[in-house]
Structure formats: C-alpha cells, structure tokens
Amino acid sequence: MALLHRTGQRVAVNTCRASPMYLFYSLLTLAFFVTVSPYFGYQALRYRKYVNSFWQRLGYLPVSLNLDAESSIWIHAVSVGEVLTARALLPELRERYPSLRLFMSTTTMTGQRLARQNLQGLDGVFYFPFDLNFIVNRTLRLVKPKLFIMMETEIWPNLLRACHRDGVKTILVNGRISSRSYPRYRAIRPLFRKVLAHVDRFCMQGNESSRRLIELGADPARVTVTGTLKFESLEPPAVRPVLQTRDRVLRYFRISDRRHVVIAASTLRGEEEPVLRAFAKIKLATSDAFLVIAPRHPERFDEVVRMVDSAGFSVARRTDLPIDAEPRVDVVVLDTIGELARLYQIATVVFVGGSLVDVGGHNILEPAIFGKPIVFGPRMQNFKEVAETFLAANAACQVHSGGELEETLQAL
C-alpha cells in the first residue's frame, strides 16, 4: 500500500493551476447549485430531507467527528448500494492502518442512515460536500485525508484536483463505466482526461469498463481489473449481521412460516404496478401470499401505500405494524433502512427493481446468498457482468416487460 506515502503536505499550487475547462465546470456547478436550491428547499419543507445535511454539504462538519486528530482515510459511497459494497474494505483498512481515522461520506440520506447504523469500524460519517473549490478545500482541511477512496463512479473534478494539489492519494474502487454513462463522459472527454490524471489507481469491475476508461483518457498503467467488490461484501464478517436462522427472522417480523412471501426490492416508479398485478394472480392461487415492497426512495413511501390501497389490497407501512402480532395485511411497504437483507431469507421469490425502467438495475447479490429465485428486468447495465454471470449459470430470470414479469412471478 505504497499509495499511502505522502510526498508532502501540499504540492505547489501552480502544478494544479485551473484550466479554462475547470473554471467553466465550476461556473456550471455553481449555476446548478443556485438553480436547484428551490428544489432542496421544497424537499426540506415537505420531507425534512436535507435539513440536517445542508451545512455538512457546505463543508461545515460536526465536532463529533474528532477533527483534531492528525490524518485519516476518507471513503465516499453515494448511497445504500455503495455503502454495502464499501463495508468489505473496512476490516482490512482498520487492521493495516490502526493509527488513521476512518471516515465515510454519502450523498443520500438513506446511505447516511445505513452507514451510521450498520457499519462497524468507522470514526465518523458525514455528507459529501458540493464540488465547489472553497467547499472542498474546507472539507479537506478538516478531514485531513492521506487517502481518498471513491466507490464505483464517483469522479468529482474539483475535489480530485484539490486532493492532487495536497498530495492526497486517490483510488477508484469497484469502478465501472456503464453503456449509459459512457456517451456522456465522451462528450466532455477533454475535461474528463484532465480529471482522470489526478487519480492514482483505478480498480475496475470488468474488462469493458476498463477499456472505456482508458479510451476516456486514463493512464493504462494505473488501470487494473479487480472484479466486483460486491461479491467480497457478501462474505463474512460483512454479511454476518444479516445471517440469522429463518425461524428467527420469521419471529422478528411476525410472519407465519406457511406464507408465500414475494419481495419487490428497490422499486422505482413504474415497477410497482406490474408487481401488484402479478401478486393479484398469485393471491388467487395462494391465499396466504404476502407481498413486501421496498421502494428505492423514501419520499415515495406514501405514494406506494396509496397505490397498493387503490389496487384493492390491505396494506401497512413496516413502522405501523403491531409489535406483538402477525401482520393482518396483504402487503407491507418497507419504510425502514437496513431490514431488507434480513427479509430475503424468508422470501419465496425476489424481484430486484430499477431494471424495468431505464435506471440500470440494482444489486442482485444479497438475495442470491440466500439461494432465492431472482427476477430482474432488461435494463441491468449498471450490473452487467454480474447479471450475465447469473444468467449463464441459470441462477436468475430476466424478463423484458411488465407482462412477462407477471407470468414469471406466478410461475416461481
């Protein structure tokens, strides 16, 4: 891990003098920030979504992070999926570098909650700063990282430029360049090439992502295909907190072991409707069938509850269920963070969302470790290598429409 050797506290600033492209990017970022401020204000008032995170996103971190210590390792994971993947790194980082503090930043509220509640070995968790020079400079002064680790596709020009200036080593871990994002990166290749020059190592999931990254301007000597870290994140001790007996999970959620449990995981708008149509047919054949819907975004919880109710099913949010009795409803909307992985153990079949709509899919590995039948849609470009591996081994089913999803869920 020679990457952690710092040649100096600060590199001469003129080696990283801002090019016109960086200035243009910074102006665009500032304009975007001003433009979306009304949206953030609405989200704060309506959902209380950004109230606690705003100052941290401006680089003002809480004193509880023990910022007086000398140096640290900073891991950035956007949301839940990246946080779950990053947990595989924590034990070895803690063992190899016991004197360094270990921080994690997230972009989303759900990722923040999961990191705070479920990850062991972190010295602190905070929200990722806006990528404006004065903000990232303030954050770097406070966190004082020797190493900055980005999960998957988190490439931020001003932060990486500042890390390079300050002698902070940077690694992209579990990197991927999807077919969807590749054309966008190509459109800004002159800037992207400069940004990639500030990254010390690229650890990519597969050959295709590696090739695309090199075509975008990365130094081939810095690019390595390491495979997906998501497999590693499912090995003990990372997965141990959710490895409980089926009976214990059934008791925890107060569900009878006779029930046929269908789980729709990480669903997005447009995916719940075909799941509900399929569930209606399943209920005709299996009266004790039970559906758990886990929407990807918390702000949709109420919307999904109304949708289920309109479809004619009895429904409750997870947090509204009685603590001492079995749920007397057909459908539960999972409105908690960190419980989905445990529920996979009692599933009869799992549909993984984000794959019927053009988002790119979500992680299929967690239900797979429990040997559950997995169904996903045609749009799995964000997990292309994993999906192809499972399909080649007949370990998952891919559907291409809502109607096909209905038929497949019924059959399984």
Residue 306's closest CA among 293, 296, 319? Answer: 293
Q: From CA 169, how far away is CA 8, in angstroms rounded?
A: 11
Q: Tell me the sheet residues that pair with 262.
A: 291, 349
Residues 203, 208, 213, 218, CA torsion sign? positive
Q: From CA 194, how far away is CA 157, in angstroms rounded?
A: 9
**Are 263 and 243 contacting, i.e. CB atoms less than 8 angstroms apart?**
no
In the chain the first and final C-alpha atoms are separated, in Å, by: 47
Q: What's the maximum distance between 2 C-alpha atoms anywhere in the chain?
A: 71
The HSE-up count of residue 36 (CA atoms within 13 Å, CB side) is: 9
Residue 404 is a catalytic residue: no
**Are 304 and 272 contacting, i.e. CB atoms less than 8 angstroms apart?**
yes
What is the number of other CB atoms lying within 10 angstroms of the CB of residue 301? 20
What is the number of other CB atoms lying within 10 angstroms of the CB of residue 4? 13
Q: From CA 202, how far away is CA 375, in angstroms rounded?
A: 31
List the structure tokens of 13: 């600033």
**Are 397 and 380 contacting, i.e. CB atoms less than 8 angstroms apart?**
no
Catalytic residue among 82, 154, 366, 406: 82
Q: What are phi and psi of 197, to 5 degrees?
A: -65, -15
Q: Name the residues annotated as catalytic.
A: 82
